[in-house]
Amino acid sequence: MRPIPEYIKQRVKKLRREIERHRYLYHVLDRQEISDAANDSLKHELQQLEARYPELVTPDSPTQRIGGQPLPELKKVAHPVRMLSLADAFGPEELADWEKRWQRLAPRAKTSYLVDLKLDGLAIGLVFTKGMLTRGATRGDGIIGEDVTHNLKTIESIPLRLRTDDLPTAIRHRVLTGAVEIRGEVVMLKKDFEELNRRQRKAAKPEFANPRNVAAGSIRQLDPKLAASRKLTFYAWELVTDLGQTTWAESYDRLRAMGVKVNPRASVCADLPAVAKFHQRIEREREQLPFWADGVVVKVNDRELFQRLGVVGKAPRAAVALKFTAQQATTVVEDIRVQVGRTGALTPVAHLRPVLVAGTTVGRATLHNADEIARLDVRIGDTVIIQKAGDIIPEVVQVLKKLRPSKTTPFHMPRHCPVCHHRVVRRSGEAIHFCVNQHCPARHREGLYHFASKKAFDIDGLGPNTIDALVDERLVREPADFFKLKASELHELPLFAEKKADNLIAAIGSARKVTLDRFIFALGIRHVGEQTAIDLAHHFQSLERLVKASVEAIAEVPNVGAVVARSVAEFFQAPKNRQGVDALRQVVTILAPPRPTSQKLKGQTVIVTGTLNTMSREEAHEKIRAAGGTVGSSVTKNTSYVVVGEKPGSKLTAAKKYGVETLDEQTFRRMVE
């Protein structure tokens, strides 16, 4: 055998040490000193040297993560110490009960709590023998698991060899001569899951629904190539072996020192009020977390006390999972009904057995359109998972097909409008079915609701129920009729006590003066939202000019595209709409649209997401417009700023994706005031 030159040996050693150092920086300390590409390049050099001198390969070399042959089967292995699970607590009362329970068993004990995030992944146990990763196993039934070392080795946040340089001498000796067991959770980060699904879409393959299942599925494979191709992450939550730690917090410190990733958000809380605060903060940040978490794990920090408190069933008495308010729940679809909107759009809506989700009772969920129904294959009688996230309306995300009753039929959109029985049309390239009957009573009624609503004429006391009564009594047929109502007519109706009737007449009276932008918005023209109405009002300055404008002239308005322009022009060309507008002009006074009071946001498009503390969403929009800015509807690369409040929704994610600058409430205030 040819001798290996010393400088090669040294180079290989140094490369390994450097690659390991960057792994530790990146995965454990969340720091990155060199780019991914540079890091790959170091690995590549090492790989080439090892290929040339296979004698130099060691089991803990970073090159040993991938490769390996598929196994014939997964071996069963016994856990040295049983793997427990956790009891759940829902809400602060159950948490207080849990504390009382353990305190009864240890009345004089004093301890703080270690709090960590409860990750929704796959629990695994790792064994390091003399510092080297020798085995990794799934939980299984807690006593026997499956050996999945080959797949776990592909996960970069799991070290192949424990770092020992930062350990006290006695502990280092223990690690290097004995066995160390570490437990934690394998998860797929949100960004990696999204990337995986992007790849699936590109390859015209079905998307994955659930990151937990992807993580578990990848780890329980025979061929390590699959796990290697999926980016997984490991967070440790327990150091089982006694390495001199007296608290869980010290366990976490030791784990970090040994090069094992623990959640950087884990911390120590002195008492339950502090735990509750931590829980609230994390729950608020939930959407922004890099992984999916379903609660906070609370552990009695004192390790000796923890052991002494023992186990009930399969869970330690000294730990509990304080869950987040569920954003998902299962329920049964009792009916699917089709609603007709004011533009004639047909929206299928699932009527559900009422269920509590994220703190509110949900009885309906939108099914969006025919494509979505087909994708879900949702049927009456089905058990479904519904989801409510941020300020989004509840949606059906999945059908539990195994729970489907035996006699069900697929749901199809009706061919006739459920209200006027007129023919329904689905234009090519569009997902939505429309009732095209201009006189459809349902469309008509929705149009009246819209007309009186907050952002339109804003008539107090004129909600859907009142409008229904007025229409049923034939007092109102079109919007102009609202302004012709007399108190004496209303007094005769059962719905109206005298006071209420007078109040309504007064509210209608004060709505008689309206700015042009609100007038345009109130007409309910398809594709014309609040901001477009404002843009049209500013451009044309008078209703006459807008009514007469050609498609081309309308398309010249900033932010107005061809589709919107066509929709506006068509609206004013229809004789029925012209009549309605003329009738309205007889009874209301149209004022010039409000002018911006400053130019601080001139030319900028701003979007608000989440709840603001010092103003409502509407007030924020007014401030943006008063400062000469435009309120955007969805985040694009042309958005100038996204103002972020509490519990922000997907718009924040989109802002990050497009690199759009985000502002907190205070900065926004300073900007516009």
Active site residues: 118
Q: Which of residues 215-254 bind ligand IVH (CB under 6 A)?
A: 237-238
Q: Tell me the H-state helices in 92-246.
A: 92-105, 149-152, 169-177, 190-202, 211-219, 224-229
Assess 84 for contact with ligand IVH (CB under 6 A).
yes
Per-residue contact string for residues 164-203; x = within reach of ligand IVH by CB under 6 A: ---------------------x------------------
Tell me if 378 sits within 8 A of 411, measured CB to CB. Answer: yes
Tell me if 357 sits within 8 A of 327, measured CB to CB. Answer: yes
* Of 16, 23, 65, 118, the one binding ligand IVH by CB under 6 A: 118
Query: At its nearest, how many Å lie between ligand IVH and the CB of residue 647?
Result: 23
Query: At its nearest, how many Å lie between ligand IVH and the CB of residue 185?
Result: 5
Query: What CA–CA distances, in Å, run from 164 to 27, 126, 132, 485?
Result: 17, 17, 11, 84
Kindly state the helix (H) or strand (E) to which residue 285 belongs, with its residue range: helix 272-285
**Residue 141 tokens, joined:** 């039934």
Whole-angstrom distance, CA of residue 627 vs CA of residue 672: 6
How wide is the angle at C-alpha 559 spanned by C-alphas 617 and 425, nearest 5°?
Answer: 90
Residue 297 or 452 with smaller CB distance to ligand IVH: 297
Query: At its nearest, how many Å lie between ligand IVH and the CB of residue 269?
Result: 14
* Of 86, 144, 276, 471, the one binding ligand IVH by CB under 6 A: 86
Binding part of the chain for ligand IVH, among 115-123, 377-385, 587-595, 665-673 by CB under 6 A, reads 115-123
- The residues facing 28 across adjacent strands are none
Residue 124 or 258 with smaller CB distance to ligand IVH: 124
Sheet holding 233-239, edge to edge: 132-138, 122-129, 179-187, 233-239
Binding part of the chain for ligand IVH, among 78-86, 416-424, 626-634, 643-651 by CB under 6 A, reads 78-86
Assess 119 for contact with ligand IVH (CB under 6 A).
yes
* Whole-angstrom Cα Rg for the chain: 32
Query: At its nearest, how many Å lie between ligand IVH and the CB of residue 104?
Result: 20
Query: At its nearest, how many Å lie between ligand IVH and the CB of residue 316?
Result: 5
Query: At its nearest, how many Å lie between ligand IVH and the CB of residue 86?
Result: 4
Whole-angstrom distance, CA of residue 451 vs CA of residue 518: 9
Query: At its nearest, how many Å lie between ligand IVH and the CB of residue 123?
Result: 3
Token look-up 């089967």 returns 73
Per-residue contact string for residues 275-304; x = within reach of ligand IVH by CB under 6 A: ----------------------x-------
Nearest residue to 323 (alpha-carbon basis) of 273, 286, 363: 286
* Of 145, 211, 259, 316, the one binding ligand IVH by CB under 6 A: 316
Q: Which of residues 602-661 bind ligand IVH (CB under 6 A)?
A: none
Assess 349 for contact with ligand IVH (CB under 6 A).
no
Assess 321 for contact with ligand IVH (CB under 6 A).
yes
Residue 22 or 118 with smaller CB distance to ligand IVH: 118
Assess 267 for contact with ligand IVH (CB under 6 A).
no
Residue 139 or 163 with smaller CB distance to ligand IVH: 139
**Residue 482 tokens, joined:** 């609202």
> DSSP 3-state assignment of 72?
coil
Supply the DSSP symbol for 57: -
Residue 185 or 530 with smaller CB distance to ligand IVH: 185
Token look-up 């009071």 returns 597
Residue 303 or 450 with smaller CB distance to ligand IVH: 303
Nearest-10 Cα torsion for 410, 411, 416, 420: 150
Binding part of the chain for ligand IVH, among 81-89, 383-391, 536-544, 634-642 by CB under 6 A, reads 81-89
Residue 662 has φ and ψ, to the nearest 5°, of -105, 150
Query: At its nearest, how many Å lie between ligand IVH and the CB of residue 267?
Result: 12
Q: Cβ neighbours of residue 360 under 8 Å, at least 6 residues apart? A: 388
Q: How many CB atoms lie within 10 A of CB 180?
A: 24
Whole-angstrom distance, CA of residue 223 vs CA of residue 232: 15
Residues in contact with ligand IVH by the rule CB under 6 A: 84-86, 116-119, 123, 185, 237-238, 297, 316, 319, 321
